[in-house]
Amino acid sequence: MARLSWKQNENEASISEAVRLVREHGEPLPPIADEQGFGGMFDRFADAKVVLLGEATHGTSEFYRARAAITKRLIEQHGFSIVAVEADWPDAARIDAYVRHRAVPDGDDAAFERFPTWMWRNEEVADFVNWLREHNKDLAEDERAEFRGLDVYSLNASIRSVLDYLDRVDPDAAKDARGRYGCLSPWQSDPARYGRAVLTGQKKPCDEALLRQLQDILDRRMEYLQADGGEEFFDAVQNAKIVHAAEHYYRIMYEGATESWNLRDRHMFETLQSLLARRDNAKAVVWAHNSHIGNAAATAMGWQGEFNIGELCRKTYRGDAVLIGFGTDRGTVAAADDWDEPMQVKSVRPARPDSHERIFRDTGLSCFLTDWRENGQADLTGALSRPRLERAIGVVYRPDTELYSHYFEAVLAEQFDAFIWFDETRAVTPLTHAHGKGMPETYPFGL
């Protein structure tokens, strides 16, 4: 008992010291509504090629609005031209067409109408999208900032996009593609069933046919580029890559979470690389969850064999990648009880006493930036280098099992280069279709 008490006292002493150092190094941030003031606090990171902006939940207004303010500053003042988000490529393509004043891709679907709709169909994102469209209005086409999706979940929509493209530029190739994609047709609307069918031997894998389809499009690159000038070809190639990757994802998801997680984040990283390669001296801002943009090697995820886009960026771009985490203590969040269930506005419980969040809360600072990217902060990085719990809320939030469902161990000083703290936050505001009244016909969220 005495040994346990001594250990508890030691832990409390280390936390108290960490609180003191974070308070000492923390830089209070202006209100987010002061976008120039808030965004200007992040000019120090503008030397990077990739700035990765996280979030501790998928449904917190302050995280979205802060990322928007930072991104606007990086685009306006520092030449960043790519916004790449944890979202499906075809949905983001509708946003991209709108913000770059291009023709909207074929199809009547509004963007982001699949669960979890509130993650990108919210007022915070819509405000940023409208700003980006206005920003791009008077720029030359090749100077306009783009909005792209990085994720792998759009199997059905990506198949449709490839077929629509081939119908326009090469109808004979479209027939071949329909034959190859037909391998997946019984499962397109529920690809997880395809994975189960392969696992149980009821279905042969479709991967070879899908790889042949991707290769066929790449082999006809010069011919297709003459037909469309490059933008539509790039979109078709990316969708063909997604179909191939998604098939693999759903096929291995029953083999273990590590393999499917790594495939997904590798795909996101490779998509980011493809986007950067298309522009001279390109610089990108990434919006994704902390669990994706922080260095996985410094977390329990990495210790069990998972990697993520943040770790891959750090290894590839080294000091030219900046990883910025976000955190909060309490408030409300938009989330569901389970996958495919309705969104609710849920109360976020105060952070656990053995968590990194507790340290930031106990500073008494309501909204601040802690930056340990540069040298000379050994005391701060040392205090944040002890493994502690960190909270991650996704599209599902289960407060009753919060420790098991939402906390993981991490070394914060190695996971991120900087951390943005909001003591209390509120849920995002989902869009309704009425939000599009009076908007142009190209408005991507529906009219």
Q: What are the pLDDT digits (tens) for 193-242?
A: 888 888 888 889 999 999 999 999 999 999 999 887 789 999 999 999 99
Compute CA distances 218 → 93, 238, 327, whole Å.
Answer: 20, 11, 42
Phi, psi of 345 (to 5 degrees): -95, 110
Closest by CA position to 323, among listed 294, 350, 281, 355: 294
Mean pLDDT of 34-60: 98
Q: Could you give the 3-state DSSP secondary structure of residue 396? A: strand
The predicted model gives 299-322 an average pLDDT of 97
Please give the model's pTM, rounded to 2 decimal places: 0.95
CATH class of residue range 12-80+283-425: alpha beta
Arithmetic mean of pLDDT, 405-416: 98
What percentage of the chain has pLDDT greater than the value 90?
A: 83
Show the DSSP H helices in 253-318 as ranges.
Answer: 257-277, 290-293, 300-303, 309-317
pLDDT for the residue 437: 66
Higher-pLDDT residue of 314 and 447 is 314
CB 341 within 8 A of CB 399: no
**Does residue 80 contact residue 42 with C-beta atoms inside 8 Å?**
no
Q: Is the pLDDT of residue 320 over 90?
A: yes
Q: Residue 13's pLDDT is what?
A: 77
Decide which of 369 and 433 is more confident. 369
Closest CA to 18 of 394, 379, 401, 323: 379
3-class DSSP assignment, residue 100: coil
pLDDT digits (tens, 9 = 90+) for 97-150: 999 999 876 655 788 998 999 999 999 999 999 999 999 999 999 999 999 999
Per residue in 38-75, is it b (16+ CB within 10 Å) or e — as a string? bbebbeebeebbbbbbbbbbbbbbbbbbbbbbbbbbbb
Confidence (pLDDT) at 374? 80
